[in-house]
Amino acid sequence: MKRTYFTTIYFLIYLLFVKIIKISANLQCIDYLDPLNSRNKILVPCPHVRSNNKIEIRDCYKSKSDQNNMFDLMFNCDLDDEKMCNKAKSTFESVGRTLTSKLLLNTRIGLNATFRPLEGNLLGSAGPSRAIPFRDEDGKIRLYVQALAKQFQLQVHPEYSSVDILADFNSNFPFWFEGDPQIQPNQIGFEELVLHELMHGLGFLSGWNNDYIEEDSLFLTPNIDGIIFNVGDNIERNSELVFRGFLESAFDKYMVLISNKTLTTELTSNFDKFLDGQNTKFSSINEFKEKFKASPQFDIAKQMYNICIESNSIGFLLNTSNSKNEVVVLETGINPFQGGSSLSHVDEKLFDNSSEFLMTFEQTPGRTLKDAIAAGGGKNRKEEAIGPKILAILETLGHV
């Protein structure tokens, strides 16, 4: 009975997403070229293709050998130290198994991970390889990371990139690996870091930022469709552009102002009124910037910035059978706003020593994953690193 019940429920959830997720015509996908720099991205054609695979419902009761790890790892290690390379590779494999045990993934996820010396103190990062525009049930077009889009198993879908998640980590940093001697105060647990970063690649990622028009500005917008950065972190400022609108991420659909429970997507609706809508041509990015700053929408962008540097101001509205309408407080206490840290994490002060520690924006040095789980009240099983609220966020997004 249980086997039939879970399979049926999953199939109904699948059918729900088939109904509400629609392919957006005439829009391009965004490819992210460097997980260490989200500004390094390009627009790419992603024509509609038909899947050759039949829809397969993943059975919760298949043998563990069939579903132990739904992540296909392509691992690159630019070191002469084979032992260190093996430690890093084993960590990615372990994290893949942990995520597989918590998420009901029905489609395999391709992970391209690199472990190499990097300059500076950057630990590393992971993120989507491609973002795909879909039209949601409310009529808005939003960007879905490819790893999430594939889970909907659409028979006709935009063409996918060869991998779903890109990861790049700094081998120069004194990481602590499972099986090493006692962790030192200056060390960072590599497994917790990798698990955290892969969550961004699965869609735990806001599209609101303050650098789409000018770097580190005091105003925020969602992704601006039509403005793209070149390799080298520059914008083609003197080239003609066609403004196609403001695009939220799938994550942004569920963000709310905590003070009055207003969905931030309503602000995006006001942004969409800029110059009477989409497909407006501009001679350059500078012309776009000048006209945007003279528009009523600019006041909204400044307002959003001020909201997002106040603590406890933005939350994620859960929409699962067990957690409907509960709000999880997101990170808005960083001033000035920090793209990649603000909004795309849960609140540090509220959750660092709780079961939701995994998705705070800072990782505590000298703490192993087991230590963090214990501090949050867990019993030292790696699966407990993904707390119930974090799991509910992923379920709300569509990872069931």
| Same domain? 93 vs 138 | yes
| Same domain? 86 vs 101 | yes
Residue 230: predicted pLDDT: 52
**Residue 21 confidence class, pLDDT cut points 50, 70, 90:** low
339 residue type, one letter:
G
Residue 384 belongs to some domain of the structure: no
CA torsion through residues 21, 22, 27, 32, sign: positive
pLDDT mean across residues, the chain: 88
Residue 283: predicted pLDDT: 87
Q: Map residue 127 onto helix, strand or coil.
A: strand
70 residue type, one letter:
M
Residue 97 belongs to some domain of the structure: yes
pLDDT at 105 over 70: yes
Residue 267 belongs to some domain of the structure: yes
pLDDT digits 0-9 by tens, 173-232: 999 999 999 999 999 999 999 999 999 999 999 999 999 888 889 999 999 887 765 544
Q: Map residue 102 onto helix, strand or coil.
A: helix
Domain end (from 144, 172, 205): 205
Is the distance from CB of 140 to CB of 248 less than 8 angstroms?
Answer: yes
| Same domain? 253 vs 125 | no
CA distance 133 to 322: 28
Decide: residue 185, CB within 10 A, 0-12 exposed, 13-18 middle, 19+ buried: exposed
Residue 232: predicted pLDDT: 45
| Same domain? 179 vs 233 | no
Residue 381 belongs to some domain of the structure: no
- Region 130-142 average pLDDT: 94
| Same domain? 178 vs 242 | no
pLDDT at 108 over 80: yes
pLDDT at 86 over 70: yes
Residue 197 belongs to some domain of the structure: yes
Q: Which of 43-57, 201-215, 237-251 has the weakest average pLDDT?
A: 43-57
CA distance 160 to 33: 15
| Same domain? 231 vs 162 | no
Strand partners, 249: 143
- Region 345-371 average pLDDT: 97
Residue 20: predicted pLDDT: 54
CB-based burial, 133-144: b 16+ in 10 Å, e otherwise: bbbbeeebbbbb
CA distance 112 to 72: 8
| Same domain? 75 vs 109 | yes
CA distance 271 to 300: 8
> What residues make up the domain containing 237?
207-343
Residue 348 belongs to some domain of the structure: no
Residue 196: closest CA among 374, 351, 378 = 351
CA distance 370 to 364: 13
Most confident among 228-237, 270-279, 365-374 (mean pLDDT): 365-374
Joined together, the tokens standing for residue 273 give 């009124």
Joined together, the tokens standing for residue 394 give 């992923």
Q: Work out the percent of the chain whose per-residue pLDDT is above 70.
A: 86
pTM of the model: 0.90
CA distance 42 to 234: 12
| Same domain? 257 vs 295 | yes
Residue 181 belongs to some domain of the structure: yes
| Same domain? 195 vs 214 | no
Domain end (from 177, 205, 233): 205
CA distance 399 to 358: 17
| Same domain? 275 vs 335 | yes
287 residue type, one letter:
E
Residue 5: predicted pLDDT: 36
| Same domain? 142 vs 7 | yes
Residue 264 belongs to some domain of the structure: yes
Is the distance from CB of 62 to CB of 80 less than 8 angstroms?
Answer: no
Residue 19: predicted pLDDT: 40
Domain end (from 205, 231, 252): 205
| Same domain? 84 vs 162 | yes
Count the domains in the chain: 2
